[in-house]
Chain A
Amino acid sequence: MYKNLLKWSLLLSVVVALCLSAASYAQLTTNQQQEWLTSPAASSHVGNITGAAKAAALPYRRYCVGCHGPLGDGNGENAQWINPKPRDFQLGIFKCRSTPTGTLPTDQDLYDSIGRGLDRSNMPSWNALTKQERADLVAWIKHFSPRWQNEKAGTPIQIPAEPEVTADRVKAGQEVFRKMECWKCHGVQGMANGPSAATLSDDLGRPISPFNFTDGSRPLCGNTDTDIYKIFMTGLDGTPMPSFADNIKPEEAWDLVFYLRSLQPHNAFNAKEKQIANQLGLKPVNPNAPAQ
Chain B
Amino acid sequence: MKHQRSRGLAAVLASLVLVGFVALVISHKASAAGEGKITGTVKLDGTAPHMRGIDMSKDPFCDKAHANNPAHSENVVVGSGGGLGNVVLYISEGLSGAAASMKPTQVPIFDQKNCMYTPHVLAMDVGQEFKVQTSDQTAHNIHPEPNPLTGNIPWNQSQPPGAPPVTKSWKTPEMIHVKCNIHPWMSGWFAVVKGPYATTDENGSYTIQNVPPGSYTVTAWQETYGTQTQKVTVAAGAAATADFTFKAK
Q: Which residues of A contact B (CB under 8 A)?
A: 1, 3-4, 7-8, 25-27, 90-93, 101-103, 145-147, 150-151, 179-181, 184-185, 195-196, 199-201, 203, 235, 237-247, 288, 291
Contact = CB atoms under 8 A, between A and B. Distances in A.
B143 A4 contact: no
B181 A4 contact: no
B97 interface: no
A240 B151 contact: no
A73 to B, nearest CB: 11
Given A203-B145, A242-B142, A246-B164, 16 more contacts: A1-B2, A4-B6, A26-B149, A27-B149, A90-B149, A102-B154, A146-B149, A180-B158, A181-B160, A184-B139, A195-B58, A200-B184, A235-B155, A235-B156, A247-B160, A291-B161
Nearest to B168: A102
Contacts of B183: 196
A245 B149 CA distance: 25
For the complex of A and B, 5 pairs with smallest distance between CB atoms = A102-B155, A240-B181, A181-B139, A242-B141, A242-B156
16 contacts: A3-B2, A4-B5, A25-B150, A27-B149, A92-B148, A101-B156, A147-B148, A151-B153, A184-B59, A184-B182, A195-B59, A196-B58, A196-B184, A235-B157, A246-B157, A247-B164
Given A196-B182, A200-B181, A246-B163, A91 B137 contact: no
B39 interface: no
Contacts of B138: 181
B158 A244 contact: yes
B46 interface: no
B91 to A, nearest CB: 21
A240 B148 contact: no
B63 to A, nearest CB: 11
Contacts of B1: 1
Contact of B158 (A26, A93, A147, A246): A246
A196 to B, nearest CB: 5
Contact of A237 (B9, B142, B155): B155
Contacts of B59: 184, 195-196
A69 to B, nearest CB: 17
Interface string B48-65: 000000000011100000
B5 A237 contact: no
A253 B12 CA distance: 58
Nearest to B59: A195
B232 interface: no
Dominant SS among interface residues on chain B: loop
B166 interface: yes
| Number of chain B interface residues as a range | 35 or more
Nearest to B161: A291
A243 B143 CA distance: 10
Contacts of B151: 25, 150
Task: Tell me which of A146, A195, A242 has the highest count of chain B C-beta atoms within 10 A of its own C-beta.
Answer: A242
Contacts of B157: 101, 235, 242-246
Interface string B6-20: 100100000000000
Given A1-B2, A3-B2, A196-B181, A247 B154 contact: no
A239 B155 CA distance: 10
Contact of A240 (B6, B139, B141): B141
Contacts of A26: 149-150
Contacts of A184: 59, 139, 182
Contacts of B6: 4, 7
A103 B148 CA distance: 11
A198 to B, nearest CB: 9
Given A4-B5, A181-B160, A196-B182, A101 B155 contact: yes
A91 B158 contact: no
Contact of A247 (B58, B150, B156, B158): B158
Contacts of B9: 4, 8
Contacts of A200: 181, 184
A91 B153 CA distance: 10
A23 B163 CA distance: 37
A91 B154 CA distance: 10
Contacts of A146: 149
A235 B182 CA distance: 14
Nearest to B165: A246
Contacts of A102: 153-156
Contacts of A103: 153
Chain A CB within 10 Å — which of B59, B151, B156, B184 has the most?
Answer: B156
A91 B6 CA distance: 44
Contacts of B156: 101-102, 235, 237, 239-243
B173 to A, nearest CB: 12
Contacts of A91: 148-149
